Amino acid sequence: MLQTRIIMQQSIKLILLPLFGLLILSCGKHVTFDQAPTIEKNSNASVPLAAILKFATDRPISVTAKFEAHDHTFAISFDDVSDARKGLPIIGMKPNRKYEVYLKIQVKDRSFDYEGKLTYITPELPSDPHEMLRFTVKRNKGIPMEPGITLLNPRLRAKGHDGSKFGMLAAVDSLGDIVWYYRCDARISDFNFLPNKHISYMTADHRLVEIDLLGNVIKSWFASDRPDGPLKDAIPVKSLTFHHDATLLPNGNYLILGSDCKEIDNYYTSETNSNAPRKRQKVMGDVLLEFTPEGEIVWKWNAFDHLDPMRIGYETFSKYWYSRGYPGVLDWSHANTILHDSTDNTIVMNSRYLSSLTKINKDGSLKWIFGEPTGLSENLRSKSLQLKNGDWFWHQHSASFTPNGTILIFNNNLIRAWPFKEKDDSGFSYAMEFEINEAEMSAELIWSSETADLPGVRSSAMGDVDFLNETNNVLVSYGSLDANDDYGRKNSWSMVREFTNTSPTDLVWELQLWPLENSEDSIGWVLFSSERIANFY
């Protein structure tokens, strides 16, 4: 059977025999399509809104695909493509739309429109309230919003459902419409949109996974000593756990949070009664690991070797590790963020239960500790930063650097006391920005998202805060918010807010996470973190 060929040139257009398709003449220059353009659904069911553009030409071309639906238009460009038989990823379509697709071809300094008609219909979102959520948006149109889409990882909270088996990443536009989502079989904590346009994410079963935007697994690693055992087609890294956070370093290695479990004599059995009997306890502490893409550990730091495990914080007995394969193990330091400071090649670890940040030199020594200092041992007090103004943070989450070298923190603001002292849960959760003066060993609060114009909310877990470079706004994710507050929610919920980095601050944009309208009261949605990206391409 003869292969159908489509020859395209600019200017004069002649219809030839159907066997040979369409010929477009242009001063003797032309492009031959060995395979005519088609759009097919993504073969990977984990990303159902994605599609694949396929074609093949006899020379490199650039192509721009414009997608038009009744309420949504966008375009994607691909440079220097000649053989797209395997397909080019089409990302950014909204669900339940019929898109008309128009291709513009460029060869050197000439461009022309492809005359063939292409259409694509996207699937509907799942109607099962245990599989999908909905978003609502509030917008202050008087203040510029950081352009782009918001990538986030909703987490299901529902009675009778194991949330550790549900993993989702979703991207929404400024209207709150989903333009991409990914489903997997394990709860997702940290994720990162990588320079190569892939996404890496951490799972509750001690994995680090890199996927492309079609949902294909590119590479994955796992903690070699995890309770779940070996993982096929993944790279083992010598560690007891992977948890919370992983960061891709400039050298191509990963920095990740792992753990060490020690049995400690005469350890606490209560965090409210100082006279409670003590006993030998299994205690989990944090380990920082840097490993190569091949899984080789090239740097390691153990919190047990540098911090005091007898200085505990509230929630040490929270059974965090029980549900992650380590029954009976107490949770001491509970780090949730690790940052690489490229200015001095140091690492900053954020510890929730110790209500502190610790800056670590690559030789393992401590540069400073930032947090309410009660109970610090004598040898660590000299490393403690003095707070020059404002309040301390408590049980904080997700520290991050700004381009100005300041540090943002999501202050969950829980408990506000050390063990054996009375708890104070009267505060609300908010973002804080600190300027660190290492020469003076001090810290100054220079901004917060607290505002009298909004009702206060309290995040019992998680939360995230990121600086937005184009507008200098700040993106704040609220983790797991309490039910039955001023917003009238019946279950745990969450939201993302964009604030101006001004004092006083202004709310720019708010995205709320809601159960589907047909869901029961027992369903809620929370959030580990979010990230604003310009676009997927």
The CATH code of the domain that includes 416 is 2.130.10
Note whether residue 171 is domain-resident: yes
Note whether residue 292 is domain-resident: no
Note whether residue 386 is domain-resident: yes
Which of 121, 153, 175 is at the close of a domain?
Answer: 121
Note whether residue 280 is domain-resident: no
Which of 121, 145, 176 is at the close of a domain?
Answer: 121
Measured CA to CA, the distance from residue 89 to residue 536 in angstroms comes to 10
Cβ contact 320:357 at 8 Å: no
In 10 A of CB 374, how many CB atoms? 11
Domain span at 170:
133-268+306-533
pLDDT of residue 490: 65
Domain count, the chain: 2
Indicate whether 465 and 489 sit together in one domain. Answer: yes
Residue with tokens 């900053």: 348
pLDDT of residue 486: 53
Indicate whether 202 and 317 sit together in one domain. Answer: yes
Measured CA to CA, the distance from residue 205 to residue 220 in angstroms comes to 13
pLDDT of residue 487: 55
Indicate whether 109 and 235 sit together in one domain. Answer: no
Indicate whether 190 and 78 sit together in one domain. Answer: no
Note whether residue 478 is domain-resident: yes
Indicate whether 324 and 471 sit together in one domain. Answer: yes
Q: Which residues contact 127 (CB under 8 A, 6 or more apart)?
A: 516, 518
Indicate whether 171 and 236 sit together in one domain. Answer: yes
Measured CA to CA, the distance from residue 446 to residue 436 in angstroms comes to 10
Indicate whether 415 and 447 sit together in one domain. Answer: yes
3 state DSSP class of 149: strand
Indicate whether 402 and 481 sit together in one domain. Answer: yes
Indicate whether 235 and 349 sit together in one domain. Answer: yes
Note whether residue 300 is domain-resident: no
Cβ contact 157:149 at 8 Å: no
Residues of the chain short of pLDDT 50, as ranges, are 1-28
Indicate whether 334 and 232 sit together in one domain. Answer: yes
Indicate whether 165 and 24 sit together in one domain. Answer: no
Which of 121, 144, 169 is at the close of a domain?
Answer: 121
Q: What is the DSSP letter of 271?
A: S
Measured CA to CA, the distance from residue 533 to residue 537 in angstroms comes to 10
Indicate whether 218 and 323 sit together in one domain. Answer: yes
Q: Which two tokens stand for residue 242?
A: 């992977």
Give the number of C-alpha atoms closer than 13 A to the C-alpha of residue 124, restricted to the C-beta side: 3
CATH code for the domain of 66 = 2.60.40.10
Q: What is the DSSP string of 362-385?
A: TTS-EEEEEE--TT--HHHHTTBP
Measured CA to CA, the distance from residue 106 to residue 31 in angstroms comes to 10
3 state DSSP class of 164: helix
Give which of 134, 131, 37 is closest to 90, Cα–Cα: 37
Note whether residue 286 is domain-resident: no
Return the bridge partners of 470, or none: none
In 10 A of CB 353, how many CB atoms? 22
Note whether residue 289 is domain-resident: no
pLDDT of residue 33: 86
Measured CA to CA, the distance from residue 509 to residue 354 in angstroms comes to 32
